[in-house]
Amino acid sequence: MNQSEKDRSDVETRLRRVEDRLEIGELISRYGVAVDDRDFDSLKAMYVEDSFFNGVSGRNAIMDFYRERGAAYGPTYHYPHSWHFKFESDDMAGGVVNAHAELSLNGKTLWLGIRYLDRYERIDGQWRFKARDTKFRYVLPFEEMATAYGEALRRRWPGAEMQPVDIPDKVPTFIAYKAGLKG
């Protein structure tokens, strides 16, 4: 391969990666719209057959989970804010998505701070979710947001015991930081 061919190949590789990032970003955006609209056909097409979502395995089981949860909620609104990806190959990538959601459950309006730990796979030329693992920064009733955000027990689903959250409280660097403040 001569230098001109090598340069063209490098440009094509970099362009493909830019396109991949845009396509995965659109997948993330379409996900929120599909969940909020209860568009389960579109949502199903976003997952690979052997996918995983928060302890649920397989695309059909995941759709059953979404239908069940969707029936319990009133309106929802998912906002992806930022994301980054690491490509393992041309057809596999991992990513982290920071987001928040607003939803209605049992007569309460809740705000959720979310971090999705994702895996993506390109199947038939389309990027899809291979896995999504949801970590919570907070799940707070709207009226408690101003006063409870700094408390340890920020996962407050209506009708359930208050629980600690995943982020940042369980992140190793945050734990080390907090320990350093005490030392």
Q: How many CB atoms lie within 10 A of CB 137?
A: 20
Angstrom distance (rounded) from CA 152 to CA 124? 44
**What average pLDDT does range 53-58 have in this prediction?**
97
Task: Report the SS3 class of residue 144.
Answer: helix
Task: Identify which of 98, 83, 100 has the alpha carbon closest to the alpha carbon of residue 149.
Answer: 100
Task: State the pLDDT at residue 7.
Answer: 63
* CATH of residue 154: 3.10.450.50
pLDDT band at 155 (very low <50, low <70, confident <90, very high): very high
pLDDT higher than threshold 90 for residue 78: yes
Q: What is the overall mean pLDDT for the chain?
A: 94
Task: State the pLDDT at residue 183.
Answer: 62
Phi-psi category of 70—alpha, beta or left, where left has phi over 0 and alpha has psi -120 to 50?
alpha
Task: State the pLDDT at residue 8.
Answer: 65
Counted domains in the chain? 1
Question: pTM of this prediction?
Answer: 0.91
Task: State the pLDDT at residue 11.
Answer: 87
Residue 168 belongs to what domain range?
3-182
